[in-house]
Chains A and B, each alone.
Chain A
Amino acid sequence: MSRVFDELTNFARARSLFILHYCTGCGAIELPPVMTSRFDMERLGVSPMVTPRQADILLVTGYVSIKTLKRVMLTYEQMGSPKYVIGICSCTVNGGMYWQSYATAKRLDEYMPVDLYIAGCMPRPEAVISGLRELMKKIEQGEANSWKEYYRNYDYYLGNQQHLFGDQWQTPVDVIGEAEHYGLVGDGTRGEHTALLEQVQHPLKPLEMRL
C-alpha cells in the first residue's frame, strides 16, 4: 500500500516542479526561450519560482565563481526537501572554458550533489527541455535522490566547502539536525569537517554594510 502511495507522490512531484530563478553564468541566456512561448516549459508543469524555500529545482546555469558558490550553497541549503540540482553548461561539469581561472569552482558535484548535468556551451533550449524531461522521468521512478546524498555525506561536501571558503565557513542551516529529522544520518554525515564546524560555529550576525 505504501508503495502505491509513493508512486502516486512521485507521479505528482514530477508534474509540478518549480525552478528557482537564480542564474549564475552565461548559460542562463537560454532559459528565457525555455520559459516563454516558443519552448514553453510550463506545458511540462515546470515554472519559475522566486524564493528558494518554495522551489524544487536549483538550476545552476553555468560557471560559479567561488564568491557565487557561497551564495549557491546558502540557497541550496535553504530549499526544502526533496530538492533537485541540475548543472547546466560544461562549466559546472569540469570548469569548461574557465578551467584555468583562479576564481571559478570547477566541479559542482564536489560541493552539492547534482542530479543531472546538461552539457554544452551553452546547451540549446531543446537540450534544457530534454534534460528536464529526463529529470521528471527520474523523479517518477524514484531515482532522483541526490538530496539524500547531501545529508548522508555531509562531511564530504562540507570538507570541500571549507577547502574553498576557509575554516570559518558556516551556514545558518543546521544540516545535521535536518538529517536527523529526515532519518537520513549516514556514516558520512559526521566527521572531521563537521567537528571543525562545531568548534568554530558562532551565532550569525547581520552583515555590516560598507562602501
Chain B
Amino acid sequence: MNMDAFTPWLDALCGRIDGMVVACSDLAQRRSRIDLPSEELTTLLEAAKGEMGFVHLSAISCVDWIEEGEFELVYHLWSYEQNQLLSIHIRVARDLGRFQSVYDLYRPAGFFERDIHEMYGLYFEGAPDMEKFILTEWNGPPPMRKDFDSEAFVGETFDWQQYNPEWLQEIVAAGGGVVVPPTEQRFSQRKKVDGPDWSGDHPQAKRGQE
C-alpha cells in the first residue's frame, strides 16, 4: 500500500468524524495522537482497521483524572502497512463507570479491558470476561483509582516490625548500624526541615542563571 496515503486519509477523516482533533509532532513522525469524543470511537477504529490496516491493538491504557471526574482511555494502534502508531484518546465519565468494549474489533482488547476493570473498576459492556485477572487475592476497591489510599490500606492491613529494637540499640551503642527513623525516611511523613527548598527552583538551575 502507498506509504503516503496516511496523511491525506487522516485529513479526510477529520471531516467525517465530528470533534476529532489530530496532533502530530515533527519529532515523532510515525506517531499521531487523536483526541475524540467517546461515542465516535468505534467509527474511528473501524475506519483505521479497514482502510489503513491498523490491525495491531498493542495496549489500552487508562488514566484516572479524578478532579475532572473522568477516565482517559488510550488505544494504541499500529499499522504494519503504514508503519504508523495511532494513539486514540477518549474520556469517559468516572461516575458512570461503564464503557463499550471493542472486543468485536480487536480480540486482545479482552485482556486489556479485563485488566482495566480490575485496576480502575471501569466496566466494559460486551467484553467476554470481566472476572478477576491478576489480583485474584484482592477484595478491596480497584487499587489504581486515585481515590484509593494505598498508604492507609497498608497501615490498616499490616503490622510493622519495630524500627529500633533492643538488639539494634546495642549495635548502635557499639558504634555500628544505621538508624533512620521512618519519619525521616518516608516522604509522606518527613518533617519539613530548614535548608534548601527543593520544591521550587532547583539551586543548581539558579546558579546557571547568575
Contact = CB atoms under 8 A, between A and B. Distances in A.
A83 B108 CA distance: 44
Interface string B138-163: 11100100001011011001111100
Contacts of A102: 140, 143, 148, 150, 153-154, 157
Given A70-B137, A102-B140, A165-B137, A110 B150 contact: no
B159 A107 contact: yes
B136 A100 contact: no
Nearest to A163: B157
Contacts of A55: none
B150 A101 contact: yes
B135 interface: yes
B135 A106 contact: no
B151 to A, nearest CB: 5
Contacts of A94: 160-161
A164 to B, nearest CB: 7
Contacts of A106: 154, 158-161
Interface string A51-70: 00000000000000011001
Interface residues of B, number: 19
A37 to B, nearest CB: 32
Contacts of B136: 67
Interface in A98-125: 99-103, 105-107, 110
A107 B161 CA distance: 7
Interface in B20-39: none
Contacts of B159: 106-107, 110
Contacts of B137: 66-67, 70, 164-166
Interface size class of A (residues with CB under 8 A): 10 to 19
Q: Choose among A67, A95, A100, A102 the residue with the greatest number of B CB atoms under 10 Å from its CB.
A: A102
A103 B138 CA distance: 8
B139 A166 contact: yes
Contacts of A70: 137
A143 B143 CA distance: 42
B135 A107 contact: no
Contacts of B160: 94-95, 106-107
A107 B154 contact: no
A93 interface: yes
B44 to A, nearest CB: 29
B150 A107 contact: no
Interface of B: 134-140, 143, 148, 150-151, 153-154, 157-161, 186
Interface of A: 66-67, 70, 93-95, 99-103, 105-107, 110, 163-166
* Across the A-B interface, the 7 shortest Cβ-Cβ residue pairs: A106-B158, A94-B161, A66-B137, A102-B150, A102-B143, A67-B137, A102-B153
